[in-house]
Structure 1
Amino acid sequence: MVPILRERPNRYDLLALALTLGLLAFFLKASQEAAAPFAPTPIDLDPIHLPEYALRTAFRMGLALILSTLFTFLYAPLAAKTRLEPFLVALLDILQSVPILGFLAASVGALAGLFPGRALGYELAAVFAVFTSQAWNMAFSFYQALKTVPRELDEAARLFRLTPWQRFWRLELPFALPGLVWNAMMSMSGGWFFVVASEAIAVGKTEVDLPGIGSYMASALAQGNLQALALAAVAMLCVIVLYDQLLFRPLVAWSQRFKYEERAGQEPARSWVLDFLRRTRTVRVLLERGANWALEALLRYERRLRPSRPLRLPTWPLYPALALLALWGLFALFATLRPLSLAEVAHAFALGFFTLLRVLGVMLLASLVWVPVGILLGQKPRLAVRVQALLQFLAAFPANLLYPFFAYLLLRFHLSLEVFSAFLMALGTQWYILFNVMAGSMAVPGDLKEAARGFGLRGWALWRRLLLPASFPYLVTGLITASGGTWNASIVAEVVTWHGKTLEATGLGSYIARWTLAEGQGPHLLLGIAVMSLYVVALNRFLWRRLYRLAEERYRL
Structure 2
Amino acid sequence: MKTFPTTDTLRRLPFSLADVAVILGTLVLLAVIARVGVGALDSFQPPLDVPRIDLDPRNLPYYAGRSTLRMFVALVCSTLFTLAYGYVAANSRRAERVMIPLLDILQSVPVLGFLAITVTGFIALFPGSLLGLEAAAVFAIFTSQVWNMTFSFYQSLRTVPQELHEAATLYQLSRWQRFVKLEVPSAMIGLLWNGMMSFGGGWFFVAESEAISVLNQEYTLPGIGSYVAGAIAAENLPALGWAVVAMAVVILLVDQLFWRPLIAWADKFRLEQSASAEAPESWVYDLIQAARVPRLLGRTLMPIREGVNQFLSRLTRMVPPPEISPEAVAQKDRIYNVLVLIFIGLLLAWGIHFIVSTVGVGEVGEAFGLGLFTLGRVVILLIIATVIWTPIGVAIGFQPRLARLLQPLVQFLASFPANFIFPFATLFFIRTGITLDWGSIVLMALGSQWYILFNSIAGAQSIPTDLREMALDMGLTGWQKWRKLIIPGIFSAWVTGGVTASGGAWNASIVSEVVGWGNQRLTAVGLGAYITEATTQGDWARITLGIGMMSLFVVGVNRVFWRRLYGLAEHKYHL
Please name the residue that 1:371 is paired with. Answer: 390
Please name the residue that 1:3 is paired with. Answer: none
Please name the residue that 1:49 is paired with. Answer: 59
C-alpha deviation, 1:213, in angstroms: 0.5
Q: CA distance change for structure 1 residues 66 and 295 in 2, over 3 Å: closer, same or farther? A: farther
Please name the residue that 2:7 is paired with. Answer: none
Correspondence list, 1:439-518, <5 A: 439-518=458-537
Correspondence list, 1:182-331, <5 A: 182-287=193-298, 290=301, 293-294=304-305, 297-304=308-315, 306=317
Please name the residue that 2:86 is paired with. Answer: 76
Please name the residue that 1:544 is paired with. Answer: 562
2:522 alignment partner, SS class: strand
Q: Deviations over 1:259-301 (max 9, x none)?
A: 0011112211011111111111132232365367425522333
Larger CA deviation: 74-83 vs 308-317: 308-317
Whether contact under 8 Å (1:93, 1:536) holds in the other structure is: yes
C-alpha deviation, 1:548, in angstroms: 0.7
Q: C-alpha distance in 1, partners of 2:221/2:146?
A: 22
Whether contact under 8 Å (2:459, 2:490) holds in the other structure is: yes
Whether contact under 8 Å (1:166, 1:299) holds in the other structure is: no
C-alpha deviation, 1:458, in angstroms: 1.7
Q: Does 1:389 align with 2:408?
A: yes
Give the letter aligned to residue 570 of structure 2. Answer: E
Correspondence list, 1:92-131, <5 A: 92-131=103-142
Q: Deviations over 1:48-67 (max 9, x none)?
A: 11111111111100000000
Whether contact under 8 Å (1:410, 1:417) holds in the other structure is: yes
C-alpha deviation, 1:85, in angstroms: 0.6
Whether contact under 8 Å (2:514, 2:529) holds in the other structure is: yes
Please name the residue that 2:19 is paired with. Answer: 13
Q: C-alpha distance in 2, partners of 1:15/1:410?
A: 49
Where in structure 2 are there 5+ consecutive unaligned residues?
1-11
Larger CA deviation: 76-85 vs 237-246: 237-246
Give the letter aligned to residue 528 of structure 1. Answer: G
Correspondence list, 1:397-408, <5 A: 397-408=416-427
Q: CA distance change for structure 1 residues 290 and 238 in 2, over 3 Å: closer, same or farther? A: farther
Whether contact under 8 Å (1:165, 1:299) holds in the other structure is: no
Whether contact under 8 Å (1:7, 1:282) holds in the other structure is: no
1:53 alignment partner, SS class: helix
1:202 alignment partner, SS class: strand
Q: CA distance change for structure 1 residues 110 and 333 in 2, over 3 Å: closer, same or farther? A: farther
Q: Deviations over 1:466-524 (max 9, x none)?
A: 112201110000000000000011111112224533222211011111111111x5101
Q: Deviations over 1:312-359 (max 9, x none)?
A: 999889888877776776566555542111001111011111111111
Give the letter aligned to residue 526 of structure 1. Answer: T
Q: C-alpha distance in 1, partners of 2:521/2:74?
A: 33
Give the letter aligned to residue 471 of structure 1. Answer: I
Q: CA distance change for structure 1 residues 306 and 460 in 2, over 3 Å: closer, same or farther? A: closer
2:449 alignment partner, SS class: helix
Root-mean-square deviation (CA, aligned residues, Å) is 2.3
Q: CA distance change for structure 1 residues 385 and 320 in 2, over 3 Å: closer, same or farther? A: farther
Please name the residue that 1:553 is paired with. Answer: 571
Give the letter aligned to residue 284 of structure 2. Answer: V
User: Which of 181, 186, 192 is residue 170 of structure 1 equivalent to?
Assistant: 181
The structure with the largest alpha-carbon Rg is 2
1:267 alignment partner, SS class: coil
Q: C-alpha distance in 2, partners of 1:192/1:301?
A: 36
Whether contact under 8 Å (2:175, 2:318) holds in the other structure is: no
Q: C-alpha distance in 1, partners of 2:466/2:451?
A: 28
Q: CA distance change for structure 1 residues 334 and 116 in 2, over 3 Å: closer, same or farther? A: farther
Where in structure 1 are there 5+ consecutive unaligned residues?
1-5
Q: Deviations over 1:125-163 (max 9, x none)?
A: 000000001000000110111001012212211221211
Larger CA deviation: 545-554 vs 299-308: 299-308
Please name the residue that 1:522 is paired with. Answer: 540
Q: CA distance change for structure 1 residues 518 and 488 in 2, over 3 Å: closer, same or farther? A: same
Whether contact under 8 Å (1:92, 1:136) holds in the other structure is: yes
Please name the residue that 1:23 is paired with. Answer: 29
C-alpha deviation, 1:36, in angstroms: 2.2
1:503 alignment partner, SS class: strand
2:483 alignment partner, SS class: helix
Whether contact under 8 Å (1:192, 1:396) holds in the other structure is: yes
1:387 alignment partner, SS class: helix
Please name the residue that 2:3 is paired with. Answer: none
Give the letter aligned to residue 44 of structure 1. Answer: D
Q: C-alpha distance in 2, partners of 1:101/1:134?
A: 14
Whether contact under 8 Å (2:204, 2:418) holds in the other structure is: yes
Give the letter aligned to residue 527 of structure 1. Answer: L
Give the letter aligned to residue 266 of structure 1. Answer: A
Larger CA deviation: 124-133 vs 201-210: 201-210
Q: C-alpha distance in 2, partners of 1:468/1:151?
A: 20
Q: C-alpha distance in 2, partners of 1:102/1:386?
A: 39
1:84 alignment partner, SS class: helix
Q: C-alpha distance in 2, partners of 1:321/1:26?
A: 52
Larger CA deviation: 200-209 vs 438-447: 200-209
Q: CA distance change for structure 1 residues 515 and 218 in 2, over 3 Å: closer, same or farther? A: same
Whether contact under 8 Å (1:358, 1:422) holds in the other structure is: yes
Whether contact under 8 Å (1:190, 1:395) holds in the other structure is: yes
**Identity score, percent:** 48
User: Which of 372, 378, 401 is residue 353 of structure 1 equivalent to?
Assistant: 372
Whether contact under 8 Å (1:378, 1:439) holds in the other structure is: yes
Q: Does 1:531 align with 2:549?
A: yes
Larger CA deviation: 435-444 vs 418-427: 418-427
Whether contact under 8 Å (2:174, 2:316) holds in the other structure is: no
Q: TM-score, normalised by structure 1?
A: 0.94
Whether contact under 8 Å (1:277, 1:284) holds in the other structure is: no
Q: CA distance change for structure 1 residues 13 and 126 in 2, over 3 Å: closer, same or farther? A: same
Give the letter aligned to residue 432 of structure 2. Answer: F
Larger CA deviation: 174-183 vs 410-419: 410-419
Q: TM-score, normalised by structure 2?
A: 0.91
Larger CA deviation: 495-504 vs 528-537: 495-504
Please name the residue that 2:50 is paired with. Answer: 40
